[in-house]
Structure 1
Amino acid sequence: MTSAPARYVHLDGETIDLTNRLLALASRGLPTMYRTETDEFAFTRVFTAENGLVSAHLSGTSLRYAAIVALGVAWLPADQVPALLGGHDLEKFVALLVDRQATSSNLGDIALVAWAAAQIGHPRLPEALERLRAFDRRTAAEYVVEASWVVAALATARKQADVEDHLAAARRRLLDSVRPGSPLFPHATGPGLVKPYRDHVACFADQVYPIQALARLHHSADGGDAEALQAARTTAEQICRLQGPDGQWWWHYDARTGGVVEGYPVYTVHQHAMGPMALLDLAEAAGGITDFDEPIRKGLLWLLGPAELGDTENPMLLDDEGLTVRKVFRGDPRKIVRAAHTVTTRARSGLKLSVIDRVYKPLSLDRECRPYEFGWLYFAWLASVEVPAEGIAR
């Protein structure tokens, strides 16, 4: 058995070995996603794989993904970081993000940069927090993912700066977004952002980021935050209850009832990073519970041979090239299955057209890989709820 950090040392040998393999893959792949000509991370790396040959190219840039990378690589030894960040140490890299945060108009990007600065106790944290304070509308509806990042950023910063008023409003906005009686979070914290015909549909990201943020909020509070912890646990237990038979973390849920609207696509990053990240953060914040070890293990092992693909040789992990296949999906034109299930479940929860599932089977692969996938991978398996942490990369 290979060695493992404390966060996953208690898991079984197969899981530990796969996790170490993924971390090594990420360290090979992440440097290839840095655009030295503009000194920032690409949005995605698109690739083809034919006859054993892989060809890849970069597309776009993303402040959001760069901030997530900063959150993840912070947990690596400091001497490993420059090779992943275009030659920059972490403090310099986060300073670049704060520069770009000043011109961003996206709440999620702004919150992630503030979180990255808070996590390492960056000298420019006050500047990053002020940008977040000025931009966050607090009482207006926001997407749940971005509202969660605001909570995570402020909870991480609260021992370094006076953010209590802002954090109280952000906390309430997130907790109050859940519909009475539902175990799951919606897509938005209030009306107006989502079209009425699909406002009952939430995604996997809408669940994992609140779980993570509320777990970290609980840990950051003197005496804990029982309401936040319970909300996180309720949602975590529900997504685990709904996990697919082969470990799939499903994509779309009914935020009214807590059921599945449409399972596909199944995203690789959900399996190896986002699902484990939220559950491990919750387990640590709640005192080391192990209730989620089996869902974490099953989710990871799906990567080794997705049942959807049968015996077809379509590896999800390209170790030498530092790539993961982004997702397994149905390949249906205009996402017709998702649209159909959205309409039918709107009329009646759980109502689906099974024939359309049989016509459009999940046999397609999306061959692209994005930097944030590796940022959350590092964070999932190497991080702690104790931040700023001693020895964190600077």
Structure 2
Amino acid sequence: MTSVPARYAHLDGETAELTDRIMTLASRGLPKMYRTESDEYAFTRIFTTSADGVTARLSGTSLRYAAIVALGVAWLPPDQQPALLGGHSLDEFVSLLVDRQAASGNLGDIALIAWAAAQIGHGRLEDAVRRLREFDRRTAPEYVVECAWVVSALAAARAHLDVEEYLAQARERLLGSVLPGSPVFPHVTGPGLVKPYRAHVACFADQVYPIQALARLHHSGDDPAALAAARTAAAQICRLQGPGGQWWWHYDARTGDVIEGYPVYSVHQHAMGPMALLDLTEAGGGDFAEPIRKGLRWMLGPAELGDGGFAEPLLLDQEGLTVRKVFRGDPRKIVRGLHTATTRVRPGLRLPVVNRVYRPTALDRECRPYEFGWLYFAWLARLGARSLPAGR
């Protein structure tokens, strides 16, 4: 990079070097995830390693991941963007997304595309927000992650369009989803979307995206209640951060306690955790530099793998790949299921024996485009700044 991003001020020498390394890796790997034959991003890139090297293949496609890539790539210099967007300028790429948004039946995809259009002040922003407004049921239960993306999209759009009434509704839905007395966000805003036995289980993403959305909401228009809710959730996940810097996966939406820590995802460590906490810091929500640095260091050599008697890097620099996660390798996710069942009966009730039997020493060798989109966003975005497409 030609200049040091402002957010690097929260890093030390080791973590700044690591972040630079992953950014370089991302710029090498992201073009390999683009399906030129269909002009869209793959869902994932699955790979194997052997003495002969790395073999990788693409699987599926994802409109959601393409929108996240656009959100991140927008913060790179315009002359670097086409190489990461299938040869398109950012403006052209977001136009493709808006075209496809019209046929999407997923609230998260639709919201992310509206957010991408709002972030760059795209000429078709009004169309993108209209589609979001029309599709969003508002009064029916929704996934909290997707509700958070709606808030982020509208907070970005309010500088260009009158979205205040809709934004107020989206804000209340997100803030109102938290169970009384809980420091964390749930997985859904109401009953009916998940089976009752796991209704109390929330995940790391359910915390990250609301923290980010509420921080951005406060920054876009003074909202102390939103900032306070974001700060509460951030303080809880930081308090529970693992000894090796792990951002744990499943939380009890009633109490805020960890239900099951694994898998630990690379994208949480290098991108999503820092992204939410840095947005919150810029919005005036506190200093989270040490948890951010601690989480990044996990990428250099997870203690889980050393404990298993072997070590394998999570970063494959030349291939532009990150190992997706470290997990238990238990058949049918038995540990997660048992912890879900026991904590449903009594919060905090655990079965330590299954943790000893199924140790987290397995690797998921795949890498997804959104991991790099959020990486760019985490380290290059700034609240109050506006990324611009080439030619504007």
1:270 aligned residue (256, 268, 271): 268
Q: In the aligned structure 2, how far is the partner of 1:138 from the partner of 1:390?
A: 31
Aligned counterpart, 1:259? 257
Q: In the TM superposition, what whole-angstrom CA distance separates every residue of 1:355-392 from its partner, at most 9, and x where no partner exists? A: 01110000100000000000000000000111434688
Aligned counterpart, 2:57? 57
What TM-score, normalized by structure 2, do the two folds share? 0.97
Alignment of 1:331-370 (within 5 A): 331-370=329-368
Secondary structure of 1:55 counterpart: strand
2:301 aligned residue (287, 299, 305): 305
Is the contact between residue 215 and residue 232 of structure 1 (CA under 8 Å) also seen in structure 2?
yes
Unaligned runs of 5+ in 2: none
Unaligned runs of 5+ in 1: none
Q: Deviation at 1:10?
A: 4.0
Aligned counterpart, 2:104? 104
Secondary structure of 2:7 counterpart: coil
Is the contact between residue 90 and residue 393 of structure 1 (CA under 8 Å) also seen in structure 2?
no
Aligned counterpart, 1:386? 384
**Identity among equivalent pairs (%):** 75
Alignment of 1:190-229 (within 5 A): 190-221=190-221, 224-229=222-227
Q: In the aligned structure 1, how far is the partner of 2:391 from the partner of 2:208?
A: 25
What TM-score, normalized by structure 1, do the two folds share? 0.97
Amino acid paired to 1:363: T
Q: In the aligned structure 2, how far is the partner of 1:185 from the partner of 1:328?
A: 24
Q: In the TM superposition, what whole-angstrom CA distance separates every residue of 1:115-161 from its partner, at most 9, and x where no partner exists? A: 00000000000000000000001111100000000000000000100
Aligned counterpart, 2:91? 91
Q: Deviation at 1:4?
A: 2.3
Amino acid paired to 1:151: V
Aligned counterpart, 1:170? 170
Q: In the aligned structure 2, how far is the partner of 1:392 from the partner of 1:38?
A: 23
Is the contact between residue 143 and residue 188 of structure 1 (CA under 8 Å) also seen in structure 2?
yes
Aligned counterpart, 2:158? 158
Amino acid paired to 2:82: P
Secondary structure of 2:256 counterpart: coil
Q: In the aligned structure 2, how far is the partner of 1:333 from the partner of 1:313?
A: 22
Q: In the aligned structure 2, how far is the partner of 1:390 from the partner of 1:285?
A: 21
Q: Deviation at 1:218?
A: 0.2
RMSD, aligned α-carbons: 1.5
Q: In the TM superposition, what whole-angstrom CA distance separates every residue of 1:258-300 from its partner, at most 9, and x where no partner exists? A: 000000000000000000000000000117x4x2101000100
Secondary structure of 2:44 counterpart: strand
Runs of 4+ off more than 2 Å: 1-4, 387-394
Is the contact between residue 63 and residue 97 of structure 1 (CA under 8 Å) also seen in structure 2?
yes
Q: In the aligned structure 2, how far is the partner of 1:337 from the partner of 1:2?
A: 46
Aligned counterpart, 2:114? 114
Count residues with an aligned counterpart.
390
Q: In the TM superposition, what whole-angstrom CA distance separates every residue of 1:139-191 from its partner, at most 9, and x where no partner exists? A: 11100000000000000000100111110000000000000110000000111
Amino acid paired to 2:20: N
Q: In the aligned structure 1, how far is the partner of 2:360 from the partner of 2:193?
A: 29
Amino acid paired to 2:245: G
Is the contact between residue 91 and residue 390 of structure 2 (CA under 8 Å) also seen in structure 1?
no
